[in-house]
Amino acid sequence: MASISLNATSITVLGIDPGSNVTGWGVVRERSGRLELLANGVLRVKGNTFPERLACIYHGLHHIIEDFRPDEVGVEQVFTSKNVMSTIKLAQARGAAIAACASFDLPVLDYEPSLVKKTLVGTGRADKEQVAYMVARLLGQTHIEGPLDTTDAIGIALCHLTLRRFRRLEELQKQEI
């Protein structure tokens, strides 16, 4: 897989909130420190069988990647629940999303939901509405249209960009030593 270049002045990131029923996505560009929402939406997963549903996720994200040509991708890690079968299905949906990114040789970093929330809101236990509020504010908007899966995905992209800046600062500090 391609490596992350921390020296780019403009970077486009695809954030993905994978789900076996609804997969949220958001494309954010950062250019010279300014954030711009390029596009966002959800893939409403269709198919009679689970493999058909996974193919829907793969092909849907494949088209989004073709259209927006992101440089990097942030994907939410699987949130383990008490229902083992739901966790397995979510992990498989995440795998289909990552496979779509890998088909373009994109660097993919994954983020725990609590890290995304803490990065954006300041607490790892923030609810989806708080994340949506901060996503809109960070992008200079009052509201982001679409379901919360969309703002979660944009939040993942914003978290990726924020942590990327920190990695860049660390790299610069190491060069100074």
- Catalytic (active-site) positions: 17, 76, 149
H/E element holding 41? strand 34-44
H/E element holding 110? strand 108-111
C-alpha 36/C-alpha 58 separation (Å) is 25
Count the Cβ atoms, other than its own, within 10 Å of residue 38. 15
Cα separations in angstroms, 7 against 106, 111, 163, 165, 169: 16, 22, 14, 10, 11
